[in-house]
Structure 1
Amino acid sequence: MTRRRARWLLALVLPALVGCAVLGRARSNWWELERGPSGQAPDPALTQEPVVQVYAARAVSWRGVFAVHTWIAVKPGGADAYRRYEVIGWGVDRGAPAVRVNRAGPDNYWFGDRPLKLVDLRGEGVDEVITKIEAAIAAYPYPASYRTWPGPNSNTFTAWIGRHVPELRLKLPPTAIGKDYLAGGALAGLTPSRTGVQVSLFGLGGLAVGWDEGIELNVLTLNFGVDLIRPALKLPVVGRLGTS
């Protein structure tokens, strides 16, 4: 097969595959999907040390083909329960807050999708990190606003925390649509890991270069990129292909 024919075949097959995935997820009954614990967070009754974890899981329904939903869970030292923080759009148009606390367990399945753990901090110094995280949450500029595309959404919220808490060294996946929406209409800032810089036009387009992010190009919120330090490609829909 020539390269030209291969490109044409890819151009025909890829949209069909994406379409099938969208249709399949759209037809699923979200209320029947798994939402129980995934077993990744330590039992707070058996864990005295402080814990911070960040998770990402595919979004609900057809949106999950393109994007993930992210959240953060914290457990101070000696506490017998977690506090889970996230932004959710349901009900915001009727006056509900966008920032929700303890809507689910720290590591629960997100409507059938087992979450991927992005950050796991424990032990000495983590209580101080939790203090910084909760200060960043209190300062989040969109506590009552939500917009699926291009933001502010759940990934805008998690990225905001990452930019204000360097200890997280937060590496969000390319499918975290909304992470490039910078607060206050800023056109430039730090990447969520704080190991690089980015320019962004209201989250709709831009470029990020960082030690943890590699090089990422944002085209209408879809991320294309390459990580040269930990060899990988970053693509819309599929996410990261290569070493983790």
Structure 2
Amino acid sequence: MTVITETTAASVELRAAKIPGAVGIIADHYWFVIDKGGDSHRQRWEVWQHKNVGGQSWYYLHKNLKECESGVGNGPSRVEYRWRGAKAANLIRVIEASPEQYPHLGLYRYWPGPNSNTYVQWILDQAKITEIPGPSAIGKDYLGIMGSKLTRQGILISTPVIGVDFVWGNYVTFQLATLPFGWTFKPFRLVYPGLRWQQNENR
């Protein structure tokens, strides 16, 4: 068993791929890939739309259901973030504990959630990672019929109908039926459904 510390040569990738069909124009499926370094095998962790369908599974949560880099039927996957060092170590601890701790193991809804992207954002929140999936991660902000949470220097208020996500000096988005519209400040760019972040490595 590989013991993960802040100095271990480990990494965690956040990967995404377009969802099949027309919805893939604006929506992606997200998952994590763990690499503990050394002789250990890479691991793919994700929530899938059907439960207990392969790999190692806990209802809708799956480990190694598919190859780490494989898309989901609408083109190749991409790396949105890659973390190393302390962030990777913390993410690995949270991901590996998620079969006992993720609150939506037995529930999946394409819209408004919880779905695969809800799981990804939950992991990031638990690991206190400030980077967020891009606007194509529909469902990442699912907080039930009405919910709110404090974020880094900001707040998220979310419902299936309307919501707002604000981080001071970073971005502001308004959600209509969970679809985001807004802008980021540094760099300035418009945020809209289907926008994909550029690959962002070495966090």
Aligned partner letter, 1:83:
Q
Task: Give the number of the structure whose residues are more often helix, by fraction.
Answer: 1
Q: Percent identity?
A: 29
One of 153, 164, 167 as aligned partner of 1:210: 167
Q: Is the aligned partner of 1:69 residue 2:26?
A: no
Instruction: Point out which structure has higher relative CO (alpha carbons under 8 A, 6+ apart).
Output: 2
Aligned residues: 188
Aligned partner letter, 2:195:
G
Partner of 2:187: 230
Distance 1:210 1:182 in 2: 17
Give the 3 Å change call, closer, same or farther, for CA 215–117 of structure 1 in structure 2. same
Partner SS for 2:95: helix
Unmatched 5+ residue regions in structure 2?
1-7, 53-57
Partner of 1:178: 139
Mapped contact 1:77–1:127 kept (Cα < 8 A) = no
Aligned partner letter, 2:157:
V
Q: Deviations over 1:164-203 (max 9, x none)?
A: 112x4332111211011026x5611145xx45320112x4
Instruction: Tell me how far 1:125 sits from its aligned partner.
Output: 6.3
Q: Deviations over 1:40-63 (max 9, x none)?
A: xxxxxxxx8211000111112222
Mapped contact 2:48–2:62 kept (Cα < 8 A) = yes
| TM-score where L is the length of structure 2 | 0.80
Partner of 2:102: 140
| TM-score where L is the length of structure 1 | 0.67
Partner of 1:196: 154
Q: Which runs of 4+ in 1 moved over 6 A?
A: none
Unmatched 5+ residue regions in structure 1?
1-47
Q: Deviations over 1:121-162 (max 9, x none)?
A: 234663343113323453111112110010010111101111
* 1:108-187 matched pairs, under 5 angstroms: 108-123=70-85, 126-136=88-98, 138-166=100-128, 168-182=129-143, 187=147
Distance 1:195 1:53 in 2: 25
RMSD of aligned residue pairs (Cα, Å): 2.8
Instruction: Tell me how far 1:214 sits from its aligned partner.
Output: 0.6
Mapped contact 2:18–2:71 kept (Cα < 8 A) = no
